[in-house]
Amino acid sequence: TVGLLGADYVIENGYYKIAKIFTGENWNPGLNAPLTAPGLNVKEGDLILEVNGLELKAPTNLYRLFEGTTGKQTTIRINDKPTKEESRLITVVPIDAEWQLRTRNWIEDNRRKVDKMSNGRLAYVYLPNTAEAGYVNFNRYYFAQQDKQGAVIDERFNGGGSAADYFVDLMSRPLMNYFATRDGKESPTPTAQIFGPKVMLINEWAGSGGDALPYYFRFRKIGPLIG
């Protein structure tokens, strides 16, 4: 299979320039980003001049030189200018798919957009399904942003599953009381909740549990559906 580096490229004066590097979580096999491995110091704007000793220059297809490199140590020559002088040979291990890195990038872009447009007041939580990945994303993003005043829950393209009621149960828990201490901040019960207004983004590309989730969200009167 063709090995991938988790990047976008543009051809500039016949050379392949790295236009964007998708970051990941290199401790997580599903989100390994080859160009962000420790010590590589690859930057957006760098040129890839060689792959395993073979010159890379248009009209040669970049991906042809990465055939059969998935999971294998592969040497590439990089430089910030189109010359071997002061270039570096680095070793990367290409991956077989980039969709998880690109999805993570899309999620993080959305989260930053919501944060900027709300002046830091709203959380953004994307649920790719109502199964394992959705469970992981909800627990990671929802509870980490419980200091926010409200939340945008995005379930577009949701692939389904059986955990929709879990998400709705947690999002619909009401504030019951505060514990006040002589010194320090008051703590609410339940302690892990965003108590402010919530909306859910939906589209026609969600199915199964992805259809049930917005129905439950509206049934519990958590907030409006948009889409």
Answer whether 65's CB lies under 8 Å from 94's CB: no
Backbone angles phi, psi at 9, to 5 degrees: -130, 155
pLDDT in tens, 195-227: 999 999 999 999 999 999 999 999 999 999 999
Answer whether 202's CB lies under 8 Å from 156's CB: yes
> What is the mean pLDDT of the segment spanning 109-122?
98
Tell whether the torsion through CA atoms of 87, 2, 132 and 8 is positive or negative.
Answer: positive
Longest dimension (CA), the chain: 72
Token pair listed for 34: 């080859």
Tally of structural domains, the chain: 2
Residues 88 and 144 placed together within one structural domain of the fold: no
- Among residues 92, 111, 141, the one where a domain terminates is 92
> What is the mean pLDDT of the segment spanning 96-108?
96
Residues 70 and 143 placed together within one structural domain of the fold: no
Q: Can you tell me whether residue 150 is helix, strand or coil? A: strand
* Number of C-beta neighbours around residue 72 at 10 A: 11
Residues 202 and 117 placed together within one structural domain of the fold: yes
Local confidence band at 165 (pLDDT 50, 70, 90 cut-offs): very high
CATH of residue 180's domain is: 3.90.226.10
Residues 159 and 85 placed together within one structural domain of the fold: no
Local confidence band at 29 (pLDDT 50, 70, 90 cut-offs): confident
Residues 103 and 180 placed together within one structural domain of the fold: yes
pLDDT in tens, 42-85: 999 999 999 999 999 999 999 999 999 999 999 999 999 999 99
- Does 209 map to a domain? yes
pLDDT of the residue at 133: 94
Domain encompassing residue 48:
7-92
Residues 129 and 87 placed together within one structural domain of the fold: no
